[in-house]
Each structure stands twice: as structure tokens, then as C-alpha cells.
Amino acid sequence: MQEIRFIPCKAFKEKPADETKLGFGKKFTDYRFVMDYYDGAWQDARIEPNEPFQLDAATSVLHYGQAIFEGLKCYRREDGGLQIFRAKDNFARMNRSADRLAIPLFDEELALKGLIELLKIEKDWVPHAEGTSLYIRPTIISMDPFLGVSAGKYYKFYIILSPSGAYYASGLAPVGIYVEDKYVRAVRGGLGFAKTAANYAASIKAGEIAKKRGYAQVLWLDGVEQKYVEEVGSMNMFFIIDGVIVTPALNGSILAGITRDSILKLAADMGYKVEERRLSIDEVFEAARNGKLDEAFGSGTAAVVSPVNELCREDEVVRIGDGNIGPITQKLYDTLTGIQFGKGEDKFGWVTRI
């Protein structure tokens, strides 16, 4: 495996003093891990100061959007030790995204080694307060400095780190969700299963409309018939219908969330009945009207789970549960965060100690 070079910083940033005001994605650590692709290979793996890049105005990523990313976290255990959660799965998914966007595949083991070395250097940046973590953002962008649509010859892979606050400052507050029936996020055969910038570009307008109507997130329907539930903004969706935990099956236009997969495995292990299948929005509303929609929540790395207490579709609004987080949602949240922060048993071997 390639050696990882180290280029020291000349000056260091001040670490955030107040861990209750970290927010998300605002501050970044001193170093990043980087590799460059040229002459047909990923080369020059290194840890270097996290300074601004210089880019030519023609750089291909700025025009044609060949950009993919990942999101995971480094957690501080009660004993002070650090750990990451299912990082191998993030790099495997990143290569699936790379393949779809004609970005050259990278060595997942080297990326994992680079991440671990970076975390060892930046260990003091992992916050200590309850529920906080160090967010990890691996990214690849195309770097060819000319206009012309084709697979490039130059790419940059980098990992940056950002201390992030507790997602739920005051308990798991449920949110309302707006069912989008005009715009679509992705279609089968498109980019939906890839974690790519374009999917977010496609989603921002609908997000702003939902926000104006007082809803925190958009629920996307399938891009062909606009009948079947896909996912919300940056989360997969779960519904508990008549005691059964249901989530849309991965159909090519849904992002295969690692939190989604973890919840499916934990819920089955706890003895719940789980179903991955096609789920129409009519079935969800029908269940809600008949009092059979027990709970609903989104799942993703940032929030882990986000309980949903209200759905709005055109002029119809349905409420879910009594407005508080449901008991199964709470149990799944407690179990998963327990594993991530090193308090619960890691039955599935998901954790890597740093």
C-alpha cells in the first residue's frame, strides 16, 4: 500500500471553546487527507494543512458536477477513547457512487488508513459534550481545467473533519414533512443511488417551498408515477404500520443509507417484523386515517433518527402518534447511539477503535 506523506501546519486554529454552539459543518480542523488522480492512478496520498484550494474558473466540477461525497462520524466514548462506525461501508458506497459518475475507483483500504491516521492527528478536535461528534466528509471532485464533457484525467479525493454539535439539543423533537408532488429528486437509471452533489441541487427548490409552508423536510415520491414513497431530504424513511416496520425497498433511485441498514438489522434482532417493499403514499395516508400509522421517522448519519409527527400532501394533513417520539423510534435511537458512543454491545462488529 502507498505511504502516506505528512506535511505539517505552520499555524493552528483555535478549537471551539463552547461545545453547545458547534452547530453543523461550520468549523474545520487543521489537517485533511488528500490523494490526486493523474497519469491514470490515484497518487501522492498525504495529510496536509486544510487550506483553501486554488481552482481554475474552468475546472470541470464547477460546470458539470462530477462530485461525490460521504458522511460519517468519529465518536468519543465515555472512557475517552475514539471510534468510527461502519466506515468501510461508507468507502464501499463511495466507490459505487464513483462508478456511476465515471470517476476512477480508489483503494478503499488506503482511504480507511488515511482517515484513521488523520483522526489520530486530530483527536483533540473530537468534542466531549454529550451527543457531540467529529463529522467526517470524504469527497471526490473532477479537476480538469477545461470545458468539454467527458470523463476527466484529473481528480482530487479529500477528507475534511468538522466538530459537530448534538443534533437534538432538547430531546428528539418530531418534525412535520411535506409530500412533494410536483418536483422529483431522481429516477431509476439516474443518480438517485449515488451520493452526489447533483441530487442535492435537484432538491433545494422543493426544500425551500416546504420550508415556507412550515415543514422541515420534503418527502420525495418516485420519479415516474409519483405514487411510491422514496426518501426525505438526506434521510431514508421508515413507517410503523400496524406494528410492522416498513421502509421502501432499494430500487435504484433511493440512497442506500448505512443508518437505514443498521436500523433494519437492529429492529429484526429485537424481534420486530421488518419489511423492505414498495410503499405507496396512498397506503401511508390510508393507514394514518385509520389510526394504523403508529410511528414514522427518517434515518441518517446526522440525526440518527428524526421522528415525524405530521405529513402534508396537497391539502390533507395527517398527524402521527400523540406528537411525541414513538416508543419504537426511541428504542432504535437509544440502541444505535449506544453502539456508536461505545455504551452498548457491538454485536454486528460495526465499530472500529481509533
Contact positions toward ligand PLP, by CB under 6 A? 71, 195, 199, 231, 234-236, 255, 257-260, 299-301
**Closest CB to ligand PLP among 152 and 257?**
257
Least distance CB 73 / ligand PLP (angstroms) = 9
**Closest CB to ligand PLP among 255 and 308?**
255
Least distance CB 116 / ligand PLP (angstroms) = 19
Q: Which three cell numbers stand for residue 209?
A: 417551498
Beta-carbon contacts of 217 under 8 Å, excluding residues fewer than 6 positions away, are 175, 177, 178, 207, 210, 232, 233, 235, 298, 306
d(C-alpha 55, C-alpha 213), whole Å: 38
Least distance CB 49 / ligand PLP (angstroms) = 28
CB 318 within 8 Å of CB 293: yes
Least distance CB 7 / ligand PLP (angstroms) = 30
Q: Which three cell numbers stand for residue 179?
A: 409530500
**Closest CB to ligand PLP among 59 and 234?**
234
**Closest CB to ligand PLP among 59 and 329?**
329
Q: What angle do CA 50, 55, 61 make, to 5 degrees?
A: 100
Least distance CB 199 / ligand PLP (angstroms) = 6
**Closest CB to ligand PLP among 46 and 260?**
260
d(C-alpha 62, C-alpha 53), whole Å: 13
**Closest CB to ligand PLP among 45 and 184?**
184
Least distance CB 28 / ligand PLP (angstroms) = 19
Question: Strand pairing partners for 5?
Answer: 46
**Quick one: which of 226, 354, 215 has its CA closest to 298?**
215
Burial (CB count within 10 angstroms: exposed 0-12, middle 13-18, buried 19+), residue 102: exposed
Least distance CB 181 / ligand PLP (angstroms) = 19
Per DSSP bridges, beta strands 293-300 and 304-313 are antiparallel
d(C-alpha 320, C-alpha 323), whole Å: 7
**Closest CB to ligand PLP among 37 and 178?**
178
